[in-house]
Structure 1
Amino acid sequence: MKLLAIVAHPDDAAIFCGGTLAKHAERGDHVTVAHMTRGEYGGLGSDTEEDVATVRTEESRAAGDVLGVDEVEFLGFKDGRVEYSLENRLALVDTLRKYDPDVVLTHFKDDMHPDHQATARLVTDAYYMASLPLVETDFEPCDPDNIYFFGKPTSSFEAETFVDISGYLDTKIGALEQHVSQIDFLIDHGGIDAEFDNLVDSLRAEGMTLGKRVGCEAAEGFAPLHEQARDFLMD
């Protein structure tokens, strides 16, 4: 099985689906994390955008190593400036075709961050277009089985599919902790995104709460575009 997570920013994979990525990677599935941006706006004002992006790229690769993923890619979009356009939709079609995944993970459409909103729409529409032979890009058409959306408690996101990440919660937290530059940044922005106060503790508590909801030690929740899954996103 091949799994592709397309996330807007370098720390999004660990925050939203790190346990699931680690579980699939350990099973032997091919796991790729593609970042729309290098997160160059995620600084406290003392560094240039390029300095921030360089640090966050390194942090993302370190987090990928912790999760055990096969590939970490950056798609070249600008942080805070991801826009919906035909050109960008075709770029995402090409990304899907390049990796030919069975399952795609990405952001839920209802989200405070405009990059998350744009990413959700681009990936969803690219998913539809990726299989069409007359849509010409650099790679051959592909036909992923499903998209699973992850979301934030500040949105209308409601999980329907839960992945048991018992035994992987510490790995998820370990991956998040590689994003050293963002821990203080996100805490500093707690007034904007309240769930980012005490981020590590909050994510651990959220995982355990979702686990209790579905009868396991820890879980991550997703909303599928269609159909349902159980233990893994797809067996």
Structure 2
Amino acid sequence: MKLDILVFAVHPDDAELGCSGTILKHIALGKKVGIVDFTRGELGTRGSAEIRDEEAADSAKILGLHARENLKFRDGFFKNDEEHQLEIVKMVRKYQPEIILTNALHDRHPDHGRAGDLTNDAIFLSGLIKIETKLDGVVQAAWRPRLVLQYIQDRYIQPDIIVDITEFMDQKEKAIRAFKTQFDSPDKHAPQTYISSPEFLESVFGRAREFGKNIGAKYGEGFTSRKLLGVENLFNLK
């Protein structure tokens, strides 16, 4: 299946926290969108890999995704090396997206920045015809998207572009809260973590309000770009 937008996320719930409003908006516009998670989040203090699998599936239904896969890289220990790059190349070539959204290049969590660099390096390699990959025994065609953006995660980073997600903020919150073990655990004895506190989600929503304010909207999601962005018509800018 060819997708319009492919989102790479090192942990299940990264995409929900960072860009699920943008996902919802573009699906509402008739675009096909999918997520590829790198790990199962097995090093997370709360829950388990199996539960995170279920939560990711629940969130995928809320978002209306056209595809969601997990590459089962080792949480915390994956590397930006040939083995991991080629697995991502296979996904880029499989779905042939026009746009890719991926992890922040710099963040509090070391996995995020490493995943952002890994994805960007793999995307470049995916466009090289002399790198051969096979999926289900079939040689894949080279593919490189026309646009790659990084969604902003925990650290405040000045965005290069902001998407108005006002209409989709309620659904974004539902998609985030689908990860119950991380944010709304019914187990009152579960250990508290950095992201399980109410203040963490308040900061996510507060940042969405701040980004939205900058473009005259109620809520927004910010993205960075490694290249300069162009527009054909100034009237398309907000």
Shorter-chain TM-score bucket reads: 0.7 to 0.9
Structure 1 counterpart of 2:122: 126
Deviation of 1:187 (Å)? 8.8
Structure 1 counterpart of 2:208: 207
User: Sequence identity, in percent?
Assistant: 30
Supply the AA of the counterpart residue of 1:164: D
Structure 1 counterpart of 2:137: none
Aligned CA distance change for structure 1 residues 160 and 3 (closer, same or farther; 3 Å):
same
Deviation of 1:229 (Å)? 6.9
Structure 2 counterpart of 1:233: none
TM-score, with normalisation over the residues of structure 2? 0.85
Whether the 8 Å contact between 1:183 and 1:199 is mirrored in structure 2 is no
Deviation of 1:184 (Å)? 5.8
- 1:152-163 correspondence to structure 2 within 5 Å: 152-154=153-155, 157-163=157-163
Q: Does 1:188 align with 2:192?
A: yes
Moved over 3 A (4+): 184-187
Give CA deviations for 1:142-170 in whole Å, capped at 9, x if unaligned: 12011101123526x32110101011011
Cα distance in 1 for residues equivalent to 2:171 and 2:106: 27
Q: Does 1:40 align with 2:42?
A: yes
Deviation of 1:112 (Å)? 2.4
Whether the 8 Å contact between 1:82 and 1:114 is mirrored in structure 2 is no
Structure 2 counterpart of 1:79: 75
Aligned CA distance change for structure 1 residues 74 and 140 (closer, same or farther; 3 Å):
same
Structure 2 counterpart of 1:4: 6
Q: Choose 1 or 2 for highest CA Rg.
A: 2
Whether the 8 Å contact between 1:187 and 1:198 is mirrored in structure 2 is no
Structure 2 counterpart of 1:145: 146
Structure 1 window deviating more from structure 2 (5-14 vs 117-126): it is 117-126
Structure 2 counterpart of 1:225: 226
Structure 2 gap segments, 5+ residues each: 135-139, 232-238
Structure 1 window deviating more from structure 2 (52-61 vs 85-94): it is 85-94
Whether the 8 Å contact between 2:108 and 2:154 is mirrored in structure 1 is no
Whether the 8 Å contact between 1:83 and 1:115 is mirrored in structure 2 is no
Cα distance in 2 for residues equivalent to 1:105 and 1:222: 9
Give CA deviations for 1:159-185 in whole Å, capped at 9, x if unaligned: 110101011011110100100011168
Q: How many residues align?
A: 220
Cα distance in 2 for residues equivalent to 1:125 and 1:188: 35
Deviation of 1:228 (Å)? 2.8
TM-score, with normalisation over the residues of structure 1? 0.86
Structure 1 counterpart of 2:235: none
Structure 2 counterpart of 1:66: 62
Q: Does 1:25 align with 2:27?
A: yes
Give CA deviations for 1:111-159 in whole Å, capped at 9, x if unaligned: 222221221111101111111110111121112011101123526x321
Structure 2 counterpart of 1:103: 99
